[in-house]
């Protein structure tokens, strides 16, 4: 699915690039390659992330730390780094919005992919609600009651 979306995105990018180049030619300017610029940007971003991880690991090893825990802007990963001065475990939780991942510790670290927990929609909702504050739970119950009253009211109007 992801590779199909990438393929469609790339095809769209090529189509846009042709249109842009047609316009540039009509204005007497040189053609450009948008796809090359995108590929170069992606390569630079990957290099930046790799450099970040390595730098964080190097600093941790220098300070004799056993773990580096990061999150949010990088890919979710648990990776070991080694140098002649020592080794460290680099952990990145990823993020909740895009990757739906978190780090969990139970005698050892593991990366939890929420989508892999195989909860039903009802179980997900109940789990989330149990972890909310009492005020939010009360608001949720009020909303459910309000919605069910509106549904009943609509059914009564429809049958009348």
* Largest Cα–Cα separation, the chain: 81
Percentage above 90 pLDDT, the chain = 24
Place of tokens 């095809």: 11
Q: Considering only CA atoms, which of 8, 9, 30 is closest in space to residue 21?
A: 30
Res. 2 pLDDT band, cuts 50 70 90: very low
Residues 152 and 160: their CA atoms lie apart, in Å, by: 12
Res. 12 pLDDT band, cuts 50 70 90: confident
Task: State the average pLDDT over residues 121-148.
Answer: 66
Task: State the average pLDDT over residues 128-136.
Answer: 63
Task: State the average pLDDT over residues 97-119.
Answer: 82
Tell me: pLDDT of 114 over 90.
no
pLDDT of residue 119: 60
This model's pTM is above 0.75: no
């Amino acid at each position: 699915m992801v590779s199909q979306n990438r393929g469609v995105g790339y095809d769209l990018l090529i189509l846009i690039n042709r249109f842009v180049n047609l316009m540039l030619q009509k204005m007497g300017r040189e053609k450009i390659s948008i796809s090359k610029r995108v590929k170069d940007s992606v390569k630079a971003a990957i290099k930046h992330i790799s450099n970040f991880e390595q730098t964080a690991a190097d600093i941790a090893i220098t300070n004799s730390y056993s773990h580096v825990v990061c999150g949010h802007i990088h890919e979710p990963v648990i990776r070991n780094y080694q140098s002649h001065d020592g080794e460290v475990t680099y952990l990145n939780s990823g993020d909740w919005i895009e990757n739906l991942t978190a780090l969990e510790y139970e005698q050892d670290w593991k990366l939890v992919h929420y989508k892999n927990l195989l909860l039903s929609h009802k179980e997900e909702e109940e789990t989330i609600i149990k972890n909310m504050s009492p005020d939010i739970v009360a608001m949720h119950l009020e909303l459910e009651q309000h919605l069910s009253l509106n549904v009943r009211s609509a059914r009564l109007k429809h049958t009348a």
